[in-house]
């Protein structure tokens, strides 16, 4: 089984997304979203090259892949020898380049 490692920023994103979803749409929807994220992350870990690349968004020295979940969220990750390392879980309305540039040094 391939491994999924979440950065500190991705863990924070997940908590924020969950809290917002519970508040706006209820616990059942938050659970569905959590389950979809988990299934997608596991699929990406098994086949890490299915995400798209976008050099325009990548901070200097990084080469991320991007995968859309539920039409609204973007998983930003890097393939590793053992699976994937998730840098961020972001809503598509966010300024992705600014968010990624700000967190480029997060290696957790």
Total domains in the fold of the chain: 1
How does pLDDT run across 7-26, given as a tens digit for each residue? 999 999 999 999 999 999 99
Q: Is the pLDDT of residue 77 over 70?
A: yes
Q: Report pTM.
A: 0.88
3-state class (DSSP) for residue 59: coil
Instruction: Give the CATH number, domain containing residue 90.
Output: 3.30.2310.20
Residue pLDDT, tens place only, 28-67: 999 999 999 999 999 999 999 999 998 888 888 888 999 9
Neighbours of 26 (CB within 10 A): 11
Half-sphere exposure of 9 (CA within 13 A, CB side): 18
Structural domain harbouring 48: 3-104
């Amino acid at each position: 089984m391939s491994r999924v490692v979440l950065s500190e920023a991705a863990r924070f994103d997940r908590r924020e997304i969950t809290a917002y979803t519970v508040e706006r749409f209820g616990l059942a929807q938050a659970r569905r979203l959590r389950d979809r994220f988990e299934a997608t992350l596991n699929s990406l870990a098994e086949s890490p090259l299915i995400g798209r690349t976008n050099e325009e968004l990548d901070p200097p020295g990084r080469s991320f892949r991007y995968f859309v979940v539920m039409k609204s969220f973007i998983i930003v990750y890097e393939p590793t020898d053992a699976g994937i390392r998730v840098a961020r879980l972001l809503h598509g309305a966010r300024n992705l380049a600014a968010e990624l540039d700000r967190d480029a040094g997060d290696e957790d």
